[in-house]
Amino acid sequence: MVPHEYAYYTPPAAPDYSKESAWAALPERLDNADLLPDSSTMQNHEATADVDVFFVYPTSFFGRTGWNCDLNNEKVNEKTDERSIKYQASVFNGAGKIYAPRYRQANYASFYNLNGDGAKALELAYQDVKQAFQYYLDHYNHGRPFILAGHSQGSYHLIRLCREMIDGQALQQQLVAAYLIGMPVKENFFKRLPVCDAPEENHCYLTWNTFRVGYLPKYYNTYFKGSVCVNPLNWSTDTSYEKPSCHIGMMGPKFGKMNSSLFGARISQGGLLWVDPVFLPGMKISKAIKVWHQGDINLFYGNIRDNLELRVANYQGKYHPQYAATPKN
């Protein structure tokens, strides 16, 4: 746990989002969000996209060094860039211009202290994310449609951002979709922002939390019971099983090589995304893994990219039923 009470803790300096250094990814700068898998069918469209992506990365700050991460922490920034920006934010470069703010993320330990100092650390982190989003709207957006995307702590903050700034407000009309991945969203949490229940739908949100089929975590009742779940193999809340043939591609531990048709998935009656045992090349123990939180995006890298193309096309009035054909694999 973090060693000091928050009342006696001095948070690191606030970010200045007018500076490039306060962003982990920007569309006109070379960064890891620009990377592509070893596939001739995938392209980076950041230079020409008519849509933006506001991406908030997950926790990469651990240990006993404080409640919130200093934006000048080179070790954490490198971890963020080499993991989340590379393996997660890059999913979205075929759909839009990627803006990923650095923020004073809360220490991982904060999630075990949600009724105490952890909540204060998460509040500070959220205020950074909200400020970054407002800066993005004021200086970068220019009325363009946008996608919200995050994972884990990133989604934790985006869920609140959606409730405060998107749900039933004018900005919802600019929202292509919100990918709130790796954090539970309870039913009826939003008043007018619906769950996306078809592959092409817009002005809605998606969420899932991935586990091996049949597994219920011990913290299920506390965190996941009553959660919404969208299956990224069929992009609906239908609980039917989707076969491995619907799996377009997974990004493995080594960035670049895509693997497809590896596993099927279905939504459990309890709102979890259950996947077949997954084999990662070079990892014999991978089939025994039960909690796939770190793979919530990576496991469905190809499906997400494919779906982004569809939702953007629909938003722009270019949707045709051919887009909804059986996934390419």
190-200 pLDDT, tens digit per residue, is 999 999 999 99
Residue 210 has, within 13 A of its CA and on its CB side, a CA count of 25
Contact 313, 319 (CB under 8 A): yes
Which pLDDT tens digit goes with each residue over 261-287? 889 999 998 999 999 999 877 666 677
Q: pLDDT grade, residue 290 (50/70/90)?
A: very high
Q: Where are the alpha helices (DSSP H) in 137-250?
A: 153-161
Q: Is the pLDDT of residue 157 over 50?
A: yes
Other CB atoms within a 10 A radius of the CB of residue 241 amount to: 16
Specify the pLDDT at position 283: 67
- Average pLDDT over every residue of 305-322: 90
- Average pLDDT over every residue of 112-127: 95
The DSSP bridge pattern shows strands 250-251 and 258-259 to be antiparallel
CA–CA separation, 46 and 321 (whole Å) = 25
Specify the pLDDT at position 253: 85
Specify the pLDDT at position 322: 58
Task: Compute the CA torsion angle 121, 122, 124, 126 (nearest 10 deg).
Answer: 170
- Average pLDDT over every residue of 221-242: 96
CA–CA separation, 264 and 274 (whole Å) = 9
CA distances (Å), 214 to each of 25, 103, 266, 291, in order?
Answer: 37, 36, 11, 11
Q: Is the pLDDT of residue 170 over 80?
A: yes
Specify the pLDDT at position 200: 97
CA–CA separation, 180 and 159 (whole Å) = 7
Which pLDDT tens digit goes with each residue over 45-67? 999 999 999 999 999 999 888 99
Specify the pLDDT at position 52: 98
Specify the pLDDT at position 284: 67
Specify the pLDDT at position 194: 98
Q: Is the pLDDT of residue 201 over 50?
A: yes
Contact 150, 158 (CB under 8 A): yes
Report the percentage of the chain scoring pLDDT > 70: 95
Which pLDDT tens digit goes with each residue over 56-111? 999 999 988 899 999 999 999 999 999 999 999 999 999 999 999 999 999 999 99
Specify the pLDDT at position 78: 98
CA–CA separation, 251 and 233 (whole Å) = 15
Residue ranges per structural domain of the chain = 6-209+297-324
Specify the pLDDT at position 328: 39
6-209+297-324: what CATH class? Answer: alpha beta
List 275's β-bridge partners, or say none: 212, 265
CA–CA separation, 82 and 310 (whole Å) = 28
Which pLDDT tens digit goes with each residue over 181-192? 999 999 999 999
Specify the pLDDT at position 326: 42
Q: What is the pTM of this model?
A: 0.95
Specify the pLDDT at position 325: 46
CA distances (Å), 187 to each of 125, 182, 192, 209, 247, in order?
Answer: 25, 16, 12, 14, 27
